[in-house]
Structure 1
Amino acid sequence: MSWRSFPKAELHLHFEGAAPPAFIRGLAKEKSVDLTGVFDERGSYAFRDFPHFLQVYEAATQVLQTPRDYQRLTRAVLEECAENGVIYAETFLSPDFCGGRDLHAWRDYLHAIQEEADRAEREMGITLRGIVTCIRHFGPDKARETAICAAETAGDWITGFGMGGNEAIGRQGDFIWAFDCAREAGLRLTTHAGEFGGPDSVWQAINDLRVERIGHGVRAIEDPRLVETLAETGVVLETCPGSNVTLGLYRDFASHPIARLRDAGVNVTISTDDPPFFHTTMTREFEALEQAFGWTADDFAELTKTAINAAFCDEGTRARLLKRLEST
């Protein structure tokens, strides 16, 4: 069957990383920005490995210079999501890219993004919420500034705080201040771990940052005690199988540990991470998982329900999303 219209909830989506290449090329042309090396001969994002991916990602974001640019980006991203049946998405937003961590500038960017997201919800039926993220390889001091931006704009739309970036730099515990600041502001917490970092990075995220969700987290499969802990505590993994396969963590979808983690009682969800970079969509993720593991509509409904229940949204929004899922 085609999974395109099946209702989906995505919890792990990098905002700039979801920008269609044609959108970025168009902005670059408008602004006369040279993006040599960012795209391959087919017009897709070009990168060799994860460190190079981060460089290309940050190079592409240089064309996103104003709140209006981010408003247009919001429309482009949500159109792609809605076309693939996504009814709810949470996206990682960074004040590092939106105003250089200046609170007044961040508010302007945020207003533009939210205004377009509200319009998209009315017109396309897709709900978006924001998770403010600090960038790990920018260091703990800048993470503090990002956390203050998050705390000052926490509410019904900015509902979470997290961390992305290069897992090879520093430790989760280096960022305790930023996560404590966000927690005190009422924000719910997630962080990238267990992708290029091993199981120890997941232990750090749980013990040092006390998060309730882990971005990726798939290398937990290498530590049986950690798998048991995740299952017992209910910590949710924001798994992104297509991303992991493209970046070489696993040979193919059949080798990916999402099914083994799920069978062990771990709460897993499905997301695309940076979809155009990894040539994926939520529809393609569902198709590949069906082919790899024989999952059915009941399996995907259960996975989507897990994502909705783990979403950093208010209870009214959650009830509405569950009702939409149950009506399919």
Structure 2
Amino acid sequence: MDDAVNLPKVELHLHLDCSLSYKVVKKLDPSVTAEEYAESFIAPQKCYDLADFLTRALKGFHLMQSAEAIFLVVEDLFEQMKEDNMLYAEIRFAPLQHLENGMTPFEVVQAAEKAVRKSVAETTIECRLLLCTLRHYSETQSMETVKLVEAFKGSFVAGFDIAADEAGFPIDNHLSAFKYAEEKSIPCTAHAGEAKGAESVWETLKFFGPTRIGHGVRSYEDERLVKHLVKNNIHLEVCPTCNVQIDIYPEYRDHPVDKLYRAGVSLNINTDARTITNVTLSREYQKLQETFGWIKADFYQCNVNAIQAAFVSDKLKQALLAKLSMAYGYL
């Protein structure tokens, strides 16, 4: 197989505030040393659980409390994606986490959207933003977030997500937001089947109705659910290294990504949190090659799946598919 770094890639599950390089952290806070960065921004290879893992996002939130900071972080992430040979990416974040210094939620999204717009124009990478509500948010906060997606319709803001600790908080506060999204035809994804089992995916599909599931790997525990995902073309945004890191699986070889893929589930490969997990998408590809024997055709298929599941127009999907096929030598 060609060197994984050189393969064009599509990433759908990528958290902005969990992907700050040391370079941009030093710009935002020159006092941070390499040792402090490694301790506070990067999680250990094994965390106790998802909640433990998520504590490493706090420093990133704290540094991203101005339009200028958000702009720099987006710009930095585009540099990282360029090194990974990214073709298309969807970057997600929770705008209500960035209000400490007086910005309004609208101003937060405006800053991120402007930064993405500029970076897309200056690179070969297509990109969209997804806005996240969080499991511990109130119904009011969840509604405020989904209405921001509607307010930015037609821009580089493309969809709605629910993230954070699924094991610690019920779905009740977010039913209204997903109902609103359905009424307004807002594309939705939702974190599920990560910290909780297959029942979490069933619940999320039933009450939120997303076309994609963030993670969703615990679906493999229920054969009926796997068949349901295949039949209904529900796409899984799989993040293998992160799942092993939060101790869902003991080792990479124990991860069900290959089994789900061979079962015909639409899925693609993602980093989730480049900094917290300390991984690139190229490295994920290398691990899949080394562990499960994936070849170029497998990565091509996963990227085709991702483009087909992306929250963009059919016209852009066709353009991306043409670029992908040409780069992989299938056109």
Q: TM-score, normalised by structure 1?
A: 0.91
User: Are the structure 2 counterparts of residues 156 and 118 from structure 1 closer, same or farther at C-alpha, using a change threshold of 3 Å?
Assistant: closer
Residues 104-157 of structure 1: CA distance to partner in whole angstroms, max 9, x if unpaired? 833333333233323322332011101111011223332122222222222242
Match of 2:222 in 1: 223
State whether structure 2 residue 184 is matched by structure 1 residue 185.
yes
Indicate the residue corresponding to 1:28 in structure 2: 29
Partner of 2:236, secondary structure, is strand
- What is the 5 A alignment of 1:142-181? 142-181=141-180
Using the TM superposition, give the Cα deviation of residue 38 of structure 1 relative to its aligned residue in structure 2, in angstroms. Answer: 6.3
State the Cα deviation string for residues 258-296 of structure 1 (Å, max 9, x = none): 111111111111110001111211100110001111111
**Residue identity matched to 2:113:** Q
List per-residue Cα deviations over 1:51-100 (Å, max 9, x = no partner): 23222212331111111111111100011011101111001121212447
- The amino acid of 1:94's aligned partner reads A
Counterpart code for 2:9: K
Match of residue 42 from structure 2: 45
CA distance in 1, matches of 2:4, 2:148: 38
**What is the match of residue 297 of structure 1?**
296
Q: Does 2:50 align with 1:54?
A: no
Alignment-derived partner of residue 214 in structure 1: 213
Secondary structure, in 3 states, of the residue corresponding to 1:231?
helix
Q: Distance in 1 between matches of 2:38 and 2:117?
A: 34
Q: What is the correspondence of 1:268-279 to structure 2 with a 5 Å cutoff? A: 268-279=267-278
Shift of 1:44: 5.3
1:112 aligns with 2:111: yes
- Quick check: 2:41–2:56 contact (8 Å CA) kept in 1? no
Paired residue secondary structure (1:10): strand
Cα deviation code 1:215-263 (max 9, x no counterpart): 0000011111111111111100000011111221112222110111111
Write the distance in 1 (CA, Å) between the matches of 2:36 and 2:221.
34
* TM-score where L is the length of structure 2: 0.90
Q: Structure 1 residue 173: deviation in Å?
A: 4.5
Percent identity, aligned pairs only, is 29
Cα offset, 1:46, TM superposition: 4.0
Q: CA RMSD in A?
A: 2.2
Q: Using the alignment, how far apart are the partners of 1:134 and 1:38 within structure 2?
A: 29
What are structure 1's unaligned runs of at least 5 residues?
none
Using the alignment, how far apart are the partners of 1:40 and 1:280 within structure 2? 13
The 8 Å contact of residues 199 and 226 in structure 1, kept in 2 or not, is answered as: yes
Post-superposition CA distance 1:172-198 (Å, at most 9, x none): 344110111122222101110000111
Contact 1:38 1:46 in 2 (8 A): no
| SS class of match (2:277) | coil
- Distance in 1, matches of 2:109 and 2:176, equals 23
Runs (4+) of structure 1 moved beyond 3 Å? Answer: 37-41, 46-49
Deviation at 1:169, TM superposition (A): 2.4
Show the counterpart of 1:127.
126
| Count of residues in correspondence between the two structures | 322
Opposite residue 137 of structure 2, the aligned amino acid is F
Contact 1:21 1:45 in 2 (8 A): no
Does structure 1 retain, via aligned residues, the 8 Å contact 2:238–2:268? yes
Quote the Cα distance in structure 2 between the aligned partners of 1:108 and 1:118: 15
